[in-house]
Structure 1
Amino acid sequence: MVDGPAPIPTLPTPRDRILSLDVLRGVAVMAILLANLPGFALPDPAYSNPVAWGGQRPIDIIVWFLTETFVNGRMRGLFSLLFGASTLLVIERADAAGGNGASFHLRRMAVLFVLGMVHLTFIWTGDILAHYALVGIVALAFVGLTPRALCWNAAAFAGLSMALGGLECLGLFAAAARDTPQMAALWDSYQSAFGTPPPAALAPEIAAMRGPWSTATAFRLEHNGNPLLDLFQIGPDTLSAMLLGMAAFKSGFLTGQWSRVAYRRWVLFGLGVSIGAYAVMALGVAASGYDVRAVTVVQLLLNVPFRLVGTLGYAALILLLMRPDGVWTTRIAAAGRMAFTNYIATSIMMTAIFYGHGLGQFAHWGRAELYLLAPLMWGLMLFWSKPWLARVGQGPLERIWRLASRGLAGKSG
C-alpha cells in the first residue's frame, strides 16, 4: 500500500528490466563479499568466531564487530529476498509469453543446482546457489498467495527456523558436560563450526587450501555439507526470506512504488532495530569470551527475526538513495544484471589469492587486512559489467543458465 504522493521514480531499462531490482541485486553481490571474506581466507570456524583464527588483535575484533553489526546475515537476506522476487518475475513473464512459468522455473532451478554443485565442489565451499535451487523448488508452492499471506508464511518459516535452531542449542548445552563419547563428539562438532578448536584441528584444512587445486578439491569433497540436509536445517530460514521477497515484490515495495515516507519509516524501523540488536548480540558474544554456546545461540536462534527486518531496512535505504539517472546507479545496476557472473567471479578471484593454486595466502592474513580486498573487487565489478552488457547484452553465466534451461525444455518436449 502506497503511503503518500511521491513514489520513487524509475526509468526503463533494457528489455523491460526493473531498475530497482538490478540496483538491489548489484548492492547485494558487492556487499556480500564483506561477509564472505573470512570464508575465503580463514579456517571454517573463523567465519562466525573471530578468535578461532586471525582475530586476536584489537583491530581484528573491531572489524568483526562492525561486520556483525552492519552486514552479516542481512546481505544474504537481501540475496534471498531478491531470489524470491525474481522467481515471481520469471514465472509471470514466462506465462505472459504463452509458456508454462512453473515448468520454466523448475528447469532453471535444475540448472542452477548443477552450477551450484560445480561451484561448491571445484571452487569454494561457501556456495549458496545449490541451496537456493532446492529452496526455490519449494518456494514455487507459494507463488499464488497474496502479499499478506506470504508475509504470514514467511513469519511461520522464520519461527520454524528458530525452533530448529533452539533444538540445536539445547543439544549443544546438553553436550557441554562431555560425559559420554557421543556428547564429546557433539561438542567437538560445534567447536569445529562455531568455537575455537585447537590449531592442530585446523591444520588439515589449512594445508589443503594452501596445497594444489586437486588437494583442495579432495578436501571439499570430503567435508562439504549435504545440500539435501541443508534444505531441512537452514531451508526454513532461507524460504522465509524468499517468501518475504515475493510479498515485497507483489506489494510494490521492491519496485519503488511505495512513497518515500514509507521507505523512510522502514529504514528507521528496520535498521534501527536490527543494527541495535546485532550490536548487542556481538557484545554478548565478546563478553562470553567467544564461547561456542554464545556464538551458536546468536547464529542459529537469536538473529533470525532481526535479519529479516534488517534486510527490509537495507532494501528501503538502497531504494531511497537510488538515482535512476545517476552514474553510480547505472554502474551498480549493471553489476546486478550480472550478479550470477560477478558472484562466481568473486569466488575465482578470492580463491586465486588465498588458495594454493594461486598465491597460497590462506590463513596468513589477519581479519582486518582482508577487507582491503573489498574495494578492489567492487571496482572490478563496476568497471567491467556495464561495457560487457553494452557489447554482449547479458553476463556469460546468465547466458549459460538461460540457454541450458531452454535446452532442458527442448529435451523434455
Structure 2
Amino acid sequence: MPNQTLADRHITLDALRGFAVMGILAMNIIAFSMPEWAYVTPAAYGGETLADKITWFLGVIFVDGKMRGLFSLLFGASMMLIIDRADAKGERAGRVHYTRMFWLAIFGLSHYFFLWFGDILFLYAAIGSVAFLFHKWAPERLIKWALIIFIVGLLFWAMQFVGLQVLQFFATQPGADPALVKQYQEVINNPDFAFNTSEELALHRGSYSAIVAAKLAEWHEPFAFILQGFYETLPLMMLGMALQKNGFLLGNWDAAAYRSWINRLLLPGLLLSALIAVWVMASGFDVITALAAFMTWTAIPRMMLTIAYAALLILGIRKLAGSALLERVTAAGRAAFTNYLGTSIVMTTIFYGYGLGLYGHVSRLGLWVFVLAAWTVMLLWSKPWLERFHYGPLEWLWRSLAGGSLQPFKK
C-alpha cells in the first residue's frame, strides 16, 4: 500500500466529501421543487412526459441514496479522525464528540423547521451519538455488526412494505377474499398513501410563515425520520469508521484492491437497481410497489453502489491528483457543511413562493439546469474562500460553538 501523509489522507476524504455534497443535490432537487411523493414515484407528480420518466429511471439507478450513503460513510470516517485528534491532544473524546453532535442537532432542527423538510443533519447527530459507542471496535467487528444491523432493519421494513405488496396481490385477484379486499381498501384509502399534491403546491407556493407553521405543526417528523433511517444510516456510519481504520477511505489501499471491490459491486448493484426501476415502471408506478422499492428492495443495491462509488471515486481522485478540478472539488468538500445548508437556502428561495415561486413548474429534466448551476457555484466559491479563511463560514461557526470559543478564521 502506498505511503501517504496525513494531509494526503485529508485530501482524499475532502475530495470524496466534495463529490458527495454535489451528488446529493441531484436527488434532493426533486424534494426542493416538487411535492414530497414525487421523490418516490413520478405518478405523484412530475411524470407526465417520457423525458420525466427517463430522468426518474436514471436517478433511481445511478444516484438515489448512493450519495447520501457516501455522505454517511464519510461522517463515520470523519468522526474517527476527530476522536483520534482529541485523544492525541489528551482531550476527552466523548465530550468533544457529543458537544459536536449537540450543536449539529441544533443546526439540523433549525434547518428542518426554518428552511427545508429534507434535513439529514439531525438524523446524523442522533445516529452519530449512537455510533460513538463503537469507536474502539476493530474494523472487522464494525463491519460484521454493521451488516447484521442493516439486515435486521431491512427485514423489519420488509415485513411492512413487502407485506403490503403481498396483501395487494391477493386482494386484487379474481374472487379474492372480501376480508382481504376490505383490508386492502383501508390501506390505499389511508391518508398516508394520499399524494396531496394540491395541498403541497398551495403551501410551498405560499408564504414563508405558512411553510414554517406547517412544519412546526408536525414537530415530530425529524424524530420519526430517525426511526426510518436508523437501519441504514448507523450501519453506513459504522462501515465508514471501519473503512477509515483499515485505510480504505484514506486512499491507502492498492489500486488492484479498489478495482476488486468495484468489480464485485458496481455492475451487480447497477443491474439490480435497473431491474427494480423497470419493475416499478411496469407496475404503472403503483404507489405500493414504488414505496416498497424505495424502502426495501433498493436498499441492498444502494449499499453495494455506495461502496463501489467510494472505491471508484478514490481511483479517480488518484488520477486527478494535482489538477485544478480536484483542488476545487476538495475545497467544496472542506466546506461541505456550508455548501449543504447553502444549497437549501438557495433552492428554497428559487422554488418556494416567498422567492421566485418555481415550485412545481420545472420538469425533472429541466431541474438539471439548477443542479449544474449549483455545482458550478460550489466549485467557484469554495477554493478562493478557503485560500483566505481557515474554514467555510458554517464550519467555523460549528467549530466555535462546539469548542466553546471563537476559532481562528482569517488566515
Amino acid at match of 1:115: F
Residue 328 (str. 1) matches residue 331 (str. 2): no
For 1:224 and 1:206, how far apart are their aligned partners in 2? Answer: 20
134, 151, 158: which one aligns with 2:143: 151
Amino acid at match of 1:61: K
8 Å CA contact 2:76–2:240 kept in 1: the answer is: yes
8 Å CA contact 2:66–2:302 kept in 1: the answer is: yes
CA RMSD of aligned residues (A): 2.1
Deviations 1:176-220 (A, max 9, x none): 75726x97267534524xxxx3xxx22221111111111111122
Amino acid at match of 2:72: S
Report the counterpart of residue 177 of structure 2 in structure 1: none
Report the counterpart of residue 186 of structure 2 in structure 1: 184
Report the counterpart of residue 300 of structure 2 in structure 1: 305
Query: Which structure 2 segments of 5+ residues have no match?
Result: 172-179, 407-411
For 1:51 and 1:117, how far apart are their aligned partners in 2? Answer: 30
Report the counterpart of residue 40 of structure 2 in structure 1: 48
For 1:328 and 1:208, how far apart are their aligned partners in 2? Answer: 40
Would the alpha carbon gap of residues 352 and 222 (structure 1) be closer, same or farther in structure 2, given more than 3 Å must change?
same
Deviations 1:308-343 (A, max 9, x none): 121111011111111331111110000000000000
Report the counterpart of residue 340 of structure 1 in structure 2: 337
Report the counterpart of residue 84 of structure 1 in structure 2: 76
Would the alpha carbon gap of residues 212 and 17 (structure 1) be closer, same or farther in structure 2, given more than 3 Å must change?
farther
Amino acid at match of 1:179: K
How many angstroms does 1:55 deviate by? 1.4
Report the counterpart of residue 284 of structure 1 in structure 2: 279
Amino acid at match of 2:190: D
Query: Which structure 1 segments of 5+ residues have no match?
Result: none
352, 355, 359: which one aligns with 2:352: 355
Deviations 1:100-143 (A, max 9, x none): 11111011000000000000000000000001100000101111
For 2:219 and 2:352, how far apart are their aligned partners in 1? Answer: 17
Residue 260 (str. 1) matches residue 263 (str. 2): no
How many angstroms does 1:235 deviate by? 0.8
Deviations 1:326-366 (A, max 9, x none): 11111000000000000001111111110011101111111
- Superposition pairs for residues 211-250 of structure 1, below 5 Å? 211-223=206-218, 226-250=221-245
Amino acid at match of 1:316: A
Would the alpha carbon gap of residues 382 and 35 (structure 1) be closer, same or farther in structure 2, given more than 3 Å must change?
same
SS at match of 1:286: helix
Amino acid at match of 2:186: A
SS at match of 1:208: helix
How many angstroms does 1:159 deviate by? 0.6
How many angstroms does 1:301 deviate by? 1.2
Amino acid at match of 2:34: L
TM-score by length of 2: 0.91
Q: Which moved more, 1:148-157 or 1:228-237?
A: 228-237
For 1:280 and 1:186, how far apart are their aligned partners in 2? Answer: 25
Amino acid at match of 1:403: S
For 2:182 and 2:214, how far apart are their aligned partners in 1? Answer: 31
Report the counterpart of residue 372 of structure 1 in structure 2: 369
For 2:192 and 2:163, how far apart are their aligned partners in 1? Answer: 10
Would the alpha carbon gap of residues 396 and 153 (structure 1) be closer, same or farther in structure 2, given more than 3 Å must change?
same
- Superposition pairs for residues 105-124 of structure 1, below 5 Å? 105-124=97-116
Report the counterpart of residue 133 of structure 1 in structure 2: 125
How many angstroms does 1:304 deviate by? 1.7
How many angstroms does 1:163 deviate by? 1.5
TM-score by length of 1: 0.90
8 Å CA contact 1:12–1:18 kept in 2: the answer is: yes
Amino acid at match of 2:106: V
For 2:185 and 2:96, how far apart are their aligned partners in 1? Answer: 46
8 Å CA contact 2:4–2:252 kept in 1: the answer is: no
How many angstroms does 1:299 deviate by? 1.3
12, 33, 39: which one aligns with 1:20: 12
Determine what percentage of the aligned residue pairs are the same residue.
40
8 Å CA contact 2:32–2:351 kept in 1: the answer is: yes
50, 59, 67: which one aligns with 2:59: 67
For 1:263 and 1:12, how far apart are their aligned partners in 2? Answer: 20
